């Protein structure tokens, strides 16, 4: 996994990580050098040889300055490496997000993705760059110092490590045996959190129905349960860690005792004995931190797993031999489609939309009109059948090419928290200011924009807060004008807009429709009376096709909807 994560960074990132490890190692070795200098100074003072003292002082100052420099370089390199790793992973995730079909983006996934981008990438950055650089340098230092100590006296060396293997064995058993308790604690935590979320979401309802007490008792018992399992986990972790550290201390004690005996029998000099006592601490350092290394490993492994989960999710297939389209008529051939985990089903859809014509999709709410537009845009893939544009299966058209041929005015207009100007420019990034204004004029929104104190520079709140539904839709039409693509998909808003707004929208739409292939999802049938073809949907099926007059004659669902709207209009007028 370590090499996999590092595989996600650039050469520069890897290089920086190595630089930071090297300089942290050098800094730690300088610490050791400093101790040796001090020991020598003490020896000089004890033996009253003052001649070398100045030399040692100068050496000490040099070491301190070098340590400072090395530490700064290591810290800087560590940050740069972390930044490279995080940036590379985020970049990969973002590129991938664009390639998923919209079916990927359900609510849970959106939450998951934001956790991944925020927390998991941060974890990976923190642990790989910041912690691993120290961990690897600690391990290298332990090897160098351990090796040196062994070369000074191998018997003392053996005593120094005597009980470490047993300690590690205990640690491994301990970690394994707590896995079950850990899982229990995590489950209890998840249950408690979901109960809290449910409680806060439904608090008004619970209050209204006087049910909050029962729920509170449930919450209390889940809190107690989580508390119990946490205690159990802490106890078991404390036990194995305690045992492990005792074995490390025993190794140190044995080394101290063996050393004392060897000094007594003149097999070890006192200075070397002191060196063992002092420097064995550096050797034990990584062993003391082994638990935090392990915890970090688990944390980064989980985060890495979640990032990989996103990166390995299947994407919209792209064709390696894209076919260029020259004609723009759209054709559905025996298409079956259903959403993930949803009852709604479209079966055997056959539909032809001629180039340059205007086709209206009508039908009750939830009958599948927006779904048809989603399929043309490959936001979702049909389970059976094909959708062709100009005789070419849309799967064989380069996806960017497909999207560049289609403008969409969506039912739920998506606006960014940016200026009005930039929001219109989404339609065509290379457009000039004049072109943006021209598009806004055609979309009948220019006058409104100019009436705002900051005009085109007015900042919109998230999702266009501050604009009415009709204004949002006209802004979206301006985008379509700017994009100027030959196919236009218009998904009218379901909610009622005021008559003035509606008239403006209608005017803008009829201008936009000129000389283009237009698919319009209409709720107000009056607006599509003149469409070349009206397709009536009901529960995912096409039930009627024809022009306005044909359909009225048929006395089917269209006539029913028409009459209902006419009556509603009359009622509305007479009210």
Phi then psi for residue 113, to 5 deg, are: -65, -40
Q: How far is the CB of 540 from ligand ATP (least distance, A)?
A: 7
Quote the CA–CA distance of 537 and 125 in Å, as a whole number.
Answer: 51
Cβ closest to ligand ATP, residue 294 vs residue 344: 344
Stretch in the footprint of ligand ATP (CB under 6 A) among 199-207, 237-245, 297-305, 367-375: 367-375
Run of H or E including 352: strand 345-353
- Count of residues making up the chain: 575
Nearer to Mg ion, 140 or 521 (CB): 521
Q: CB of residue 376 vs ligand ATP: minimum separation in angstroms?
A: 12
**Could you give phi then psi for residue 518, rounded to 5 degrees?**
-125, 130
Nearer to ligand ATP, 155 or 541 (CB): 541
Q: In this chain, which of 27, 67, 306, 369 binds ligand ATP, going by CB under 6 A?
A: 369
Q: Which of 365, 429, 451, 574 binds ligand ATP (CB under 6 A)?
A: 365
Cβ-Cβ contacts under 8 Å for 168 (sequence gap 6 or more):
244, 290
User: Closest CB to Mg ion among 155 and 541?
Assistant: 541
Q: Is 294 in the site for ligand ATP (CB under 6 A)?
A: no
Nearest partner of 473 among 493, 454, 488, judged by Cα:
493
CA distance 277 to 271: 10
Question: What, of Mg ion, ligand ATP, none, does residue 114 touch, CB below 5 to 8 Å by kind?
Answer: none
Least separation in angstroms between residue 79's CB and ligand ATP is 41
Burial class (CB in 10 A: 0-12, 13-18, 19+), 430: exposed
Of 259 and 368, the one with the shorter C-beta distance to ligand ATP is 368
Q: Minimal distance in Å, beta carbon 503 to ligand ATP?
A: 21
Nearest-approach distance from CB 537 to ligand ATP, in angstroms:
6
Comparison of 128 and 370: residue with beta carbon closer to Mg ion:
370
Q: Could you give the CA distance from residue 335 to residue 382 in angstroms, rounded to a whole number?
A: 6
Tally of CA atoms within 13 A in the half-sphere of 380 that contains its CB: 19
| Residue 527 in contact with ligand ATP, rule: CB under 6 A | no
- Pattern of binders to ligand ATP over 371-410, x per CB under 6 A? x---------------------------------------
Residues 63-92 that bind ligand ATP (CB under 6 A): none
| Closest CB to ligand ATP among residues 123, 371 | 371
| CA neighbours closer than 13 Å in the CB half-sphere of residue 91 | 9
- Facing residues of 145 across strands? none
Q: Which of 259, 286, 368, 427 binds ligand ATP (CB under 6 A)?
A: 368
3-state DSSP of 155-216: HHHHHHHCCHHHHHHHHHHHHHHHHHHHHHHHHHHHHHHHHHHHHHHCHHHHHHCCCHHHHH
Number of residues that bind Mg ion (CB under 5 A): 2
User: In the complex, what is the shortest distance from the CB of residue 373 to ligand ATP, in angstroms, rounded to a whole number?
Assistant: 8
- Smallest distance from Mg ion to CB 139, Å: 59
Name the minimum Å distance from CB 491 to Mg ion: 6
Query: Given CA atoms 212, 218, 220, 223 in this order, what sign does their dihedral have?
Result: negative
Judged by beta carbon distances under 5 to 8 A according to partner kind, the member of ligand ATP, Mg ion, none in contact with residue 371 is ligand ATP
Q: Which among 169-177, 338-346, 392-400, 449-457 is the span making contact with ligand ATP, rule CB under 6 A?
A: 338-346
SS3 536: strand
Q: What distances in angstroms separate CA 276 from CA 121, 154, 221, 258, 523, one per listed residue? A: 42, 11, 54, 11, 86
Show contacts with ligand ATP in window 453-512 (CB under 6 A): 494
d(CA 478, CA 480): 5
Task: Rule CB under 6 A: choose which of 344, 404, 503, 526 binds ligand ATP.
Answer: 344
Coil, strand or helix at 568: helix
Measured distance CA(289)–CA(297) in Å, rounded: 12
Spatial distance between the Cα atoms of 196 and 341, rounded to a whole number of angstroms: 26
φ/ψ of residue 517, rounded to 5: -85, 125
* 538 touches 556 (CB < 8 A): no
Alpha-carbon dihedral of residues 209, 213, 218, 223, nearest 10 degrees? 130
In whole angstroms, the minimum distance from the beta carbon of 536 to ligand ATP comes to 11
- Which is closer to Mg ion, CB of 20 or CB of 373? 373
**Site for Mg ion, residues 347 to 386, rule: CB under 5 A:** 370
**Angstrom distances, CA of residue 409 to CA of 300, 373, 475, 535:** 42, 11, 9, 19
Cα distance from N-terminal residue to C-terminal residue, the chain: 70
Q: Which of 100, 339, 421, 562 binds ligand ATP (CB under 6 A)?
A: 339
Q: Applying CB under 6 A, which part among 90-98, 300-308, 336-344, 473-481 lies near ligand ATP? A: 336-344
**Which part of the chain contacts ligand ATP (CB under 6 A), choosing from 3-11, 287-295, 303-311, 360-368?**
360-368
* Closest residue by Cα to residue 120 from 312, 315, 310, 314: 310
344 interface partner picked from ligand ATP, Mg ion, none, CB below 5 to 8 A per type: ligand ATP
134 vs 24: CA distance, rounded Å: 7
Binding of residue 367 to ligand ATP (CB under 6 A): yes
b/e per residue 536-551 (b: at least 16 CB within 10 A): bbbebebebbbebeeb
By a kind-dependent CB cut-off of 5 to 8 A, residue 133 interacts, out of Mg ion, ligand ATP, none, with: none
Tell me which stretch binds Mg ion (CB under 5 A): 154-162, 386-394, 407-415, 450-458: 407-415
Rounded Cα–Cα distance for residues 521 and 431 (Å): 28
Partner that binds at residue 339, options ligand ATP, Mg ion, none, CB closer than 5 to 8 Å by kind: ligand ATP
Q: Of Mg ion, ligand ATP, none, which one does residue 147 interact with (CB within 5 to 8 Å by kind)?
A: none
**What is the binding site for ligand ATP (CB under 6 A)?**
339, 342, 344, 363, 365-371, 411, 494
**What is the binding site for Mg ion (CB under 5 A)?**
370, 411
């Amino acid at each position: 996994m370590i090499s996999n994560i590092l595989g996600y960074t650039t050469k520069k990132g890897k290089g920086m990580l190595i630089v930071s490890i090297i300089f942290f190692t050098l800094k730690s070795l300088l610490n050791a050098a400093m101790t040796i200098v001090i020991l020598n100074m003490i020896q000089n003072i004890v033996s009253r040889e003052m001649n070398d003292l100045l030399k040692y002082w100068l050496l000490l100052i040099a070491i301190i300055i070098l340590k400072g420099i090395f530490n700064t370089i290591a810290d800087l390199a560590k940050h740069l490496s972390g930044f490279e790793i995080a940036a590379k992973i985020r970049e990969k995730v973002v590129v991938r997000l664009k390639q998923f079909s919209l079916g990927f983006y359900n609510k849970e996934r959106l939450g998951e993705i934001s956790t991944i981008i925020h927390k998991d990438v941060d974890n990976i950055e923190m642990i790989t760059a910041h912690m691993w650089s120290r961990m690897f340098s600690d391990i290298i230092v332990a090897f160098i110092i351990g090796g040196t100590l062994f070369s000074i006296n191998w018997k003392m060396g053996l005593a120094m490590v005597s009980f470490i293997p047993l300690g590690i064995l205990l640690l491994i058993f301990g970690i394994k045996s707590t896995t079950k308790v850990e899982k229990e604690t995590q489950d209890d935590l998840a249950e408690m959190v979901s109960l809290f979320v449910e409680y806060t979401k439904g608090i008004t309802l619970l209050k209204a129905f006087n049910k909050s007490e029962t729920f509170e008792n449930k919450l209390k018992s889940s809190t107690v349960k989580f508390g119990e399992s946490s205690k159990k986990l802490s106890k078991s972790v404390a036990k194995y860690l305690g045992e492990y550290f005792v074995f490390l201390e025993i190794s140190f004690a044995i080394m101290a005792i063996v050393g004392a005996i060897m000094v007594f029998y003149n097999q070890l000099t006192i200075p070397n004995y002191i060196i063992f006592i002092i420097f064995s601490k550096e050797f034990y350092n990584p062993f003391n931190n082994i638990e935090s290394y392990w915890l970090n490993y688990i944390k980064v492994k989980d985060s890495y797993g979640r990032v990989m989960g996103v990166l390995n999710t299947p994407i919209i297939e792209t064709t390696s031999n894209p076919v260029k389209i020259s004609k723009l008529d759209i054709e559905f051939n025996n298409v079956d489609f259903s959403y993930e985990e949803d009852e709604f089903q479209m079966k055997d859809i056959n539909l032809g939309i001629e180039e340059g014509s205007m086709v209206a999709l009508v039908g009750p709410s939830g009958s599948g009109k927006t779904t048809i537009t989603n399929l043309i845009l490959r936001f979702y893939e049909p389970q059976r059948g094909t959708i062709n544009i100009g005789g070419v299966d849309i799967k064989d058209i380069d996806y960017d090419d497909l999207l560049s041929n289609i403008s969409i005015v969506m039912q739920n207009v998506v606006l960014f928290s940016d200026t009005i100007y930039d929001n219109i420019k989404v339609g065509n990034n290379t457009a000039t200011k004049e072109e943006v204004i021209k598009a806004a004029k055609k979309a009948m929104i220019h006058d409104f924009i100019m009436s705002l104190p900051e005009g085109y520079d007015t900042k919109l709140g998230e999702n266009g807060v501050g604009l009415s539904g009709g204004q949002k839709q006209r802004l979206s039409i301006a985008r379509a004008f700017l994009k100027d693509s030959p196919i236009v998909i218009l998904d009218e808003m379901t909610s009622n807009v005021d008559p003035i707004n509606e008239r403006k929208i209608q005017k803008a739409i009829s201008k936009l429709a000129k000389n283009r292939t237009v698919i319009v999802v209409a709720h107000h049938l009056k607006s599509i009376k003149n469409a070349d073809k009206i397709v009536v949907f009901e529960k995912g099926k096409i039930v009627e096709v024809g022009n306005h007059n044909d359909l009225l004659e048929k006395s089917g669902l269209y006539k029913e909807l028409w009459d209902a709207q006419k009556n509603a209009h009359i009622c509305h007028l007479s009210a």
